[in-house]
Amino acid sequence: MPIDPYILLLIGTVGLAALFPARGTAGDVASGASTAAIAFLFFLYGARLSTREALDGLRHWRLHVTVLACTFVVFPLLGLAARGLVPVLLTRPLYEGLLFLTLVPSTIQSSIAFTSIARGNVPAAICAGSFSSLVGIVVTPLLAAALLGSSGGGFSADSLVKIVLQLLVPFLAGQLLRPWIGGFVARHRKVLGLVDRGSILLVVYTAFSEGMAQGIWHQVSPARLGGLLAVEAVLLAVMLALTWYGAKALRFGRGDRIAIQFAGSKKSLASGLPMAGVLFGAHASLAVLPLMLFHQMQLMVCAMIAKRRSHDPVEDATATEPGAASRTAVGTTSRPR
């Protein structure tokens, strides 16, 4: 199974930070640039989100509530249950990164792509991913404050203020300006997509540079990384099973079950990395390591599942919940992120 090229870029950025970390004045410049990049990133998120599409999607509220419950209730509960693995499999910092992973929103692009490949309910996947990202801007920091507390790299009320100023305010500004800049953003989606990814690479470089300055990499051994991968594999398997069979128990149609599984079992690297940079500061490098590993794992596994489900009979794969609005499974050429 091929590795997502963007993951290779992220690994290369980590290597660059290890060999040439930003220190002193360069570190201050990188930190300031990272802060500006995060704000601009969430400004673009706000400018892209169609308020009309979000309101239309509310008609299928049962599906969206199910996805949100998987993302912000079931995932965190499993993360809390993993506390018993410290210190047998995980160190305390790696566990905190794993717990943070369970708090971030779902993906948008890859959920849509995999749902389309599997011939599921694509409009539902679009709305579910958008709602999750929107809710996560507020809910993820609050959950981090409640579950990680002061252990989360010094999380405090000041960190919550930073979240509001760096994430929520730019997002709302993008939404307010969308009537004037929405067309420009849509026309230049590819170029701005490169800005998105470049901003995240800058966040990763800054976080890992600070981690090198703090010497935190001495806390990680190959055995610990192996333990982390094993725990994440179990976490992903449990969520894939719960979202699929749980949605069946809730009497969703097959198309909706596909959307729920792909939107409810995955976590967003694009949203999680900037949030970790704000929440964890110098400790962000270890905090984002579990998320980076989980991201690649979920892409590989979900790609296999989507390909298998694409061979299902058409009448089963496109079935929808009784009484729901009609949906179409349109194709997409977007690369899963």
Whole-number Å distance between alpha carbons of 300 and 69: 24
* 176-189 mean pLDDT: 88
Task: Say how many C-beta atoms besides its own lie within 10 A of residue 228's C-beta.
Answer: 23
Cis peptide bond prior to 313, omega within 30° of 0:
no
- Mean pLDDT (whole number) for 300-319: 75
Q: For the chain, count helices (H), then strands (E).
A: 16, 0
DSSP letters, 102-121, are TTSPPPSHHHHHHHHHTT--
Residue 150 pLDDT class (50, 70, 90 cuts): low
Is the predicted pLDDT of residue 94 greater than 50, yes or no? yes
Contact in structure between 282 and 153 (CB atoms under 8 Å) = yes
Q: How far is CA 240 from CA 18, 215, 329, in A?
A: 35, 36, 21
Which amino acid is present at 277? G
* pLDDT (0 to 100) of residue 333: 38
Pair 74, 242: CB distance under 8 Å: yes
Give the pLDDT confidence score for residue 3 in this predicted structure.
Answer: 66
- At which residue do the structure tokens 């409009």 appear? 123
Residue 179 has pLDDT above 60, yes or no: yes
For the residues 240-262, what does the mean pLDDT come to? Answer: 95
Contacts of 325 (CB under 8 A, 6+ apart): 59, 60
Quote the CA–CA distance of 39 and 181 in Å, as a whole number: 17
Taking a C-beta distance cutoff of 8 angstroms, is the pair 142, 103 a contact? no
Q: Is 252 a residue whose pLDDT tops 50?
A: yes
The pLDDT of residue 335 is 41
User: Tokens 């992120």 — which residue?
Assistant: 337
Q: Is the pTM of this model over 0.75?
A: yes
Each residue of 269-285: pLDDT tens digit? 878 888 887 777 666 77
**Going by CATH, does the domain composed of 26-310 fall within 1.20.1640.10?**
no
The model's confidence at residue 180, banded by pLDDT at 50, 70 and 90, is very high
- Find the mean pLDDT for residues 25-33: 85
Q: Residue 25: its pLDDT value, please?
A: 86
CA gap 203, 29 in Å, rounded: 12
Q: Of 50-54, 71-75, 166-170, 256-260, give the lowest mean pLDDT range.
A: 50-54
- Mean pLDDT: which of 26-30, 71-75, 180-184 is highest? 71-75
The stretch 54-62 carries a mean pLDDT of: 71
Q: What is the C-alpha separation between 170 and 178, in angstroms, rounded?
A: 12
Residue from 128, 152, 131, 130 nearest 141 by CA? 152
